[in-house]
Every structure is written in structure tokens, then in C-alpha cells.
């Protein structure tokens, strides 16, 4: 078992963004999706990253080249159906969707191949992060329970960044660490509102349902965490927001990078919070400089909420 992270990213996307920061129009083409954004930040933080994904069609060929160019080791199941992607226009400062192709659900053969590949690669890793697809119809939720159970029972620390049915299933597999946003907790009926009391109650609920440690992000507010049975407020410096999207994925990535390198839970959460806080100052999702993240970690504190 080596000190790298497996990123389970079942259906990465091709993202095309049109921007006009000055007189000239710019077109940016990148790989995207939750798993890609997490893998990008984990790699930036100096941890070897192996991503398991499915790709297909012309978009799939482009995705493979783009992902590899970022230093991420990619393992793929090539499928007949094309991969998904989107085109967004941000020339006026807002985000206007021009086209969105989610991609087709994975077939039985693709699912079997993806599971076998992720299991084999995950058993060689210190940490495996299970990320979700953009479209919930892409693959059955049961796969997350199986992966969490099979990897966790063989000594791999499983980190899950999921919601809805995917979160419910992965919890039964008893993951080591769960990260979820407060909006997702409310939408899933696990919290009535965004008050501290309700979110702390939800932390303990997730722990009782199977998660050893839990981190709840709260958009531009500090996160809450449950570590070794104790609830904490994660306090970070505030920054002017350029783009809040992707901050949660950077947070998860920071946690994974530290755990893979043998760090403790509190350092992992503080590093994740630093990565998430810095990500909002940038327009690139899951992006950021490792030296900037490390310089901010000492400014992140954990304040105990209950005794």
C-alpha cells in the first residue's frame, strides 16, 4: 500500500467556458466534474493521485489528454457512449448555460469493469475518495456502499463527498470520513435548517449512521467538524469571493492529501479548510497554489463546540 490517493470519478466532464476579461474573448477548455476538481487539488498539494473513470466518444479522447496533462494518473474504462460536458458563457460576469450534455447512464458491463478497476487500484492506496457524477442516473447508488465496505475492510481510509441516495448508501459501508455541504444536509432532510444546533445534530447523526469523522461545509461561513466524537467549528480567515464553486471539493482534497501523507485528522481538516478558503479567490475550480494553502493552515483553528 503506497501513500497515494485513489479518486473514484465515474463520469468526468469536458468543460468549455467563454470569458471576456478585457477586449478579447477567451475560450477555456478543461476537464471537470467533482472527481477531477478533487484530483487536481490533491495533485497540487504534492500527493500522487490515481483517478478511475469512464470515458467515451470524441469527448472522451479529449478528456484523457487534458487530465493526463495535469499530472493525474488516469485509469479508464472506455465505453461506447460518449462522455458528457457543458459550455458556459461568462462574458457578462454571470454564468449562462449554452449547452449541457450529461452523458448516458453506465451499462452493466461498464459498471462491472469500473468497479473492478477501482477496487484493484484502491487496495493499493492509503486513501480512496468517492466522488459523485453530475447526473445521479449515471450509476446506481449501491456501488458506493460496496466500494466503501470492500476498501474499508481492507485497511483503506475511505473519504466520501456525496449527497442524497449516494450518501445514504455509502454510510452503510462505514466510510472513514464524510464531507457534505449544509445545503445538502437540509435537502436530504438530515438537518431542519442551517443553525449551529441543527448542523451539530446532523454531524452526530452521520456518525451514528456509519461515518467515523464528518466535515460539513457552509458556503462562505466556517465549516463544522466531528472528530473523535467531538464537534468543532472550523474557523478560517475570510477572503473576497471570486467564485465559490469548487471550494468544497478543494476542502475534501486537502483532507485526503494530508491523510495519505500520514497526517492526523485535525491537521487534515485544517488543511482542507485552507484549500477551500483559497479556492474562492480563484476562478479555476479545484485550483490553487500548494505554498499558499500551507501558509494559511496555521491561520485555521478548531474551536470546540461542546464538552
DSSP for residue 205:
H
How do the domains of the chain map onto residue ranges?
A: 2-304
What pLDDT is stored for residue 286 in this prediction? 46
CA-to-CA distance for 147 and 268, rounded, in angstroms?
A: 22
SS3 19: strand
Name the CATH superfamily, with its identifier, for domain 2-304: Ribokinase (3.40.1190.20)
DSSP for residue 172:
H
What pLDDT is stored for residue 282 in this prediction? 52
Q: Which residue has the cell 450509476?
A: 139
Q: What is the pLDDT of residues 100-116, one digit of tens each?
A: 998 899 999 999 999 99
Q: What is the pLDDT of residues 68-96, one digit of tens each?
A: 999 999 999 999 999 999 999 999 888 89
Question: Which of 166, 159, 209, 203 lies closest to 185, judged by CA?
Answer: 203
Written as nine digits, the cell of 195 is 443553525
Written as nine digits, the cell of 143 is 456501488
What pLDDT is stored for residue 292 in this prediction? 80
SS3 215: strand
Angle 265-279/290-297 helices, nearest 10 degrees? 120
> What pTM, to 2 d.p., does this model score?
0.92
Per-residue pLDDT of the chain (307 residues; tens, 9 = 90+): 678 999 999 999 999 999 998 889 999 999 999 999 999 999 999 999 999 999 999 999 999 999 999 999 999 999 999 999 999 999 988 889 999 998 899 999 999 999 999 999 999 999 999 999 999 999 999 999 999 999 999 999 999 999 999 999 999 999 999 999 999 999 999 999 999 999 999 999 999 999 999 999 987 788 999 999 999 999 987 766 555 455 789 999 999 999 999 999 999 999 999 988 886 565 555 456 777 888 888 899 999 996 5
CA-to-CA distance for 39 and 178, rounded, in angstroms?
A: 17
Question: Which of 13, 8, 23, 11 lies closest to 285, judged by CA?
Answer: 13
Amino acid at each position: 500500500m503506497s501513500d497515494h490517493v485513489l479518486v473514484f470519478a465515474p463520469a468526468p466532464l469536458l468543460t468549455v467556458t467563454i470569458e471576456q476579461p478585457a477586449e478579447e474573448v477567451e475560450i477555456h477548455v478543461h476537464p471537470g466534474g467533482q472527481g477531477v476538481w478533487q484530483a487536481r487539488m490533491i495533485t497540487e498539494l504534492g500527493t500522487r493521485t490515481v483517478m478511475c473513470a469512464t470515458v467515451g466518444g470524441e469527448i472522451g479522447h479529449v478528456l484523457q489528454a487534458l487530465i493526463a496533462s495535469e499530472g493525474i494518473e488516469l485509469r479508464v474504462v472506455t465505453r461506447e457512449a460518449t462522455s458528457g460536458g457543458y459550455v458556459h458563457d461568462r462574458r457578462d460576469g454571470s454564468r449562462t448555460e449554452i449547452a449541457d450534455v450529461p452523458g448516458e447512464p453506465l451499462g452493466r458491463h461498464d459498471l462491472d469493469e469500473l468497479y473492478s478497476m477501482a477496487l484493484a487500484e484502491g487496495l493499493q492506496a492509503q486513501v480512496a475518495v468517492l466522488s459523485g457524477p453530475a447526473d445521479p442516473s449515471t450509476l446506481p447508488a449501491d456501488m458506493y456502499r460496496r466500494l466503501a465496505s470492500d476498501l474499508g475492510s481492507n485497511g483503506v481510509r475511505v473519504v466520501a463527498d456525496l449527497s442524497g441516495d449516494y450518501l445514504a448508501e455509502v454510510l452503510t459501508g462505514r466510510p472513514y470520513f464524510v464531507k457534505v455541504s449544509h445545503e445538502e444536509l437540509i435537502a436530504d432532510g438530515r438537518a431542519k435548517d442551517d443553525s449551529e444546533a441543527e448542523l451539530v445534530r446532523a454531524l452526530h447523526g452521520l456518525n451514528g449512521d456509519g461515518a467515523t469523522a464528518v466535515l460539513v461545509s457552509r458556503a462562505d461561513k466556517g465549516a463544522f467538524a466531528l472528530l473523535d466524537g467531538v464537534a468543532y467549528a472550523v474557523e478560517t480567515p475570510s477572503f473576497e469571493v471570486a467564485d465559490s464553486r469548487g471550494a468544497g471539493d478543494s476542502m475534501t482534497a486537502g483532507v485526503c492529501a494530508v491523510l495519505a501523507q500520514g497526517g492526523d485528522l485535525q491537521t487534515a481538516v485544517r488543511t482542507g479548510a485552507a484549500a477551500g478558503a483559497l479556492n474562492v479567490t480563484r476562478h479555476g475550480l479545484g485550483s490553487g497554489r500548494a505554498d499558499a494553502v500551507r501558509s494559511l493552515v496555521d491561520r485555521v483553528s478548531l474551536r470546540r463546540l461542546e464538552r
